[in-house]
Amino acid sequence: MNRNRMGKRGCIYKYFILILCFCVFIKWILPYTRFGYYSPVYEDMFCRLNKTQLVMKAGERKKIRVIGVNQRAVFFSTDFKVAEVDFGGNVYAHKNGTAIIVVKTNTKQLKCKVKVVS
């Protein structure tokens, strides 16, 4: 009988400590794991490119930026022989012609016309 001197009161404390530890885990530890990672995603209804048309000389490099979105955008060119774009939005002009740089976000597809002259 001496062993169980706190009775129900000790059991309530154990559950309280357990629930408190669980709440601390949920609030301060779980968000920094891969299961609870949360990054606010802005609605990309206002996203746009900083430039919609570029005129470049062969061998030149310019950068296209996506404004109004905090997500990763995918860049690609319709004609890689004329103008090439990397994953960061850097456009490299190769030879004369016209190409369109297409930028895709989750819900939008934006375009930038690139004209390369000699």
Instruction: pLDDT band for 80, please (50, 70, 90 cuts).
Output: very high
Q: Given a cut of 80, is residue 92 above it in pLDDT?
A: yes
Count H helices and E strands in the chain, helices first: 1, 9
CA distance 24 to 20: 6
Q: Given a cut of 60, is residue 91 above it in pLDDT?
A: yes
Higher local confidence (pLDDT), 45 or 12: 12
pTM beyond cutoff 0.75: no
